[in-house]
Amino acid sequence: MQKVTLATNNIQVLFFFGLTGLAVVSPLFLGQIEVKETLPQKQEFTRAIQEPESDTISISIVGDLMVGSSYPSTYFLPKEEDGNILQDAMPLLQSTDLRIGNLESAVSDNAPLYKQCGGNQCFAFRTPLKYAQWYKDAGFDYLNISNNHSFDFGMKGVQHTLDFLEKNNIRTSGVPQHPIDTLTVRNTKFGFASFAPHSNCLDLNDDSLVRANIALLRPMCDVLIVFFHGGGEGASRKHTPKGREIFFGQDRGDVRHFSHLCIDAGADMVIGSGPHVVRGMELYKEKLVAYSLGNFATYHQFNLKSPNNIAPLLQVKITNKGILAENKVFSFIQEGEGIPKVDSTMGAFKLISALSEEDFGFKDVGAGTLW
């Protein structure tokens, strides 16, 4: 089993040119990758997992991650003595060369609430630093912050989040302060861009901006991955519609159009989150699009009634030319307040497989097994 760790933290200044022609200076974390051999943490997990092929890079991908929030109260945090809520998924995550997901919160100990909330409940998430360290312990190399919760605690929360990610050598993208990023794994440079129709995010609905970011990133990498946070939310939104999705009056994008635009512009894979339920996958021009990987580890304040508790872990193998070699969906389910556990019924695989065939005619979703 191999575990990739980031060894240096050199900072390069990147000039990003937006539609206005103005230059925005953004730090781009570039470093060397050190590969270390580690022993499997749980032998029963790793028996069914194949070692990565020499000519492909293996990637573990999950949807929404929010391992606990100190807002509005520390009551919403897991018990520290129970350990990292990601621990049951860690052997599988660490069996691959690269681990990526969506960070559905600000990371800060004390950033003040910025989000304007209506009604009696405010869904704003602020993960303390010592809990956010669980992402690093699980081995995450990239966490997307272009979503509707990264700005819950304003610019201070964004800066605290970026500081945490930089300190822990975790790459990110999708906000004006840090629009794109790259990292190198097994002599292959990966580029990341991400978009969402939310405050302080690169706008998913601005086609020219999307193309400009991909065009900027494409010469810098061998494999280009786009993340997006879009679409309506809830159990009734499992199917990926054609056209724009309006949710509580907000334009959450035409995610089919967006994904195809990204691939036409040069992306090798598109990964979606936002609906809090899984959606189908599509193969468009031989490039994989996962329209929503749903929730993976969303603690306490999320609706985890079925199907919202279905938690897929997608593993892919891709060549250094961006050619998809394999995809497998491993099934987890969130138990209790939102702790991912192995699902022997394979609910995530079955649902994603059915939705992929119904919505896109894609019949080649692979099944991953852990028993």
Predicted local distance difference test score (pLDDT) of residue 118: 67
Percent of the chain at pLDDT exceeding 70: 84
Task: Give the span between the Cα atoms of 333 and 342, in whole angstroms.
Answer: 6
At 114, which CATH number? 3.60.21.10
Sign of the alpha-carbon dihedral angle for 160, 163, 165, 171: positive
Reported as a single tens digit per residue, the pLDDT across 272-309 is 999 999 999 999 999 999 999 999 999 998 999 999 99
Is residue 217's pLDDT more than 60? yes
Query: In sequence order, which residues have a C-beta less than 8 Å from that of residue 238 and are 6 or more positions away?
Result: 275, 277, 278, 279, 307, 351, 355
Is residue 238's pLDDT more than 90? yes
Predicted local distance difference test score (pLDDT) of residue 122: 76
Is residue 141's pLDDT more than 70? yes
Predicted local distance difference test score (pLDDT) of residue 175: 98
Q: Tally the C-alpha atoms within 13 A of residue 109's C-alpha that lie toward its C-beta.
A: 5
Task: Give the span between the Cα atoms of 333 and 343, in whole angstroms.
Answer: 6
pLDDT band with cut points at 50, 70 and 90 for residue 119: low
Cβ-based neighbour number of residue 157 at 10 Å: 27
pLDDT band with cut points at 50, 70 and 90 for residue 116: confident
Predicted local distance difference test score (pLDDT) of residue 156: 98
In this prediction, residues 185-212 reach a mean pLDDT of 98
Q: Tally the C-alpha atoms within 13 A of residue 304's C-alpha that lie toward its C-beta.
A: 20
Predicted local distance difference test score (pLDDT) of residue 202: 98
Is residue 14's pLDDT more than 80? no
CA-wise closest residue to 71 among 114, 25, 28, 102: 114
Mean pLDDT score of the chain: 88
Reported as a single tens digit per residue, the pLDDT across 55-90 is 899 999 999 999 999 999 999 999 999 999 999 999
Predicted local distance difference test score (pLDDT) of residue 6: 34
SS3 of the chain: CEEEEECCCEEEEEEEECCCCCEEEEEEEECCEEEEECCCCCHHHHCCCCCCCCCCEEEEEEEEEECCCCCCCHHHCCCHHHCCCCCCCHHHHCCCCEEEEEECCEECCCCCCCCCCCCCCCCCCEECHHHHHHHHHHCCCEEECCCCCCCCCHHHHHHHHHHHHHHCCCECCCECCECEEEEEECCEEEEEEEECCCCCCCCCCCHHHHHHHHHHHHHHCCEEEEEEECCCCCHHHCCCCCCCCEECCEECCCHHHHHHHHHHHCCCEEEEECCCCECCEEEECCEEEECCECEEEECCCCCCCCCCCEEEEEEEEECCCCCEEEEEEEEEEEECCCEEEECCCCHHHHHHHHHHHHHHCCCCCCEECCC
Is residue 35's pLDDT more than 50? no
Distances (CA, A) of 71 to 104, 114, 120: 14, 12, 14
Residue pointed to by tokens 């032998």: 43
Is residue 30's pLDDT more than 50? no
pLDDT band with cut points at 50, 70 and 90 for residue 225: very high
Minimum mean pLDDT among 18-22, 118-122, 344-348: which range? 18-22
pLDDT band with cut points at 50, 70 and 90 for residue 54: low
- Domain total in the chain: 1
Sign of the alpha-carbon dihedral angle for 14, 18, 21, 24: negative
What is the pTM for the complete model shown?
0.86
Full domain range(s) for residue 302: 2-368
Is residue 45's pLDDT more than 60? no
Task: Answer left, alpha or beta for residue 20, where phi above 0 means left and psi between -120 and 50 means alpha.
Answer: alpha
Reported as a single tens digit per residue, the pLDDT across 308-338 is 999 999 999 999 999 999 999 999 999 999 9
Is residue 268's pLDDT more than 90? yes
Predicted local distance difference test score (pLDDT) of residue 370: 84
Task: Give the span between the Cα atoms of 314 and 57, in whole angstroms.
Answer: 14
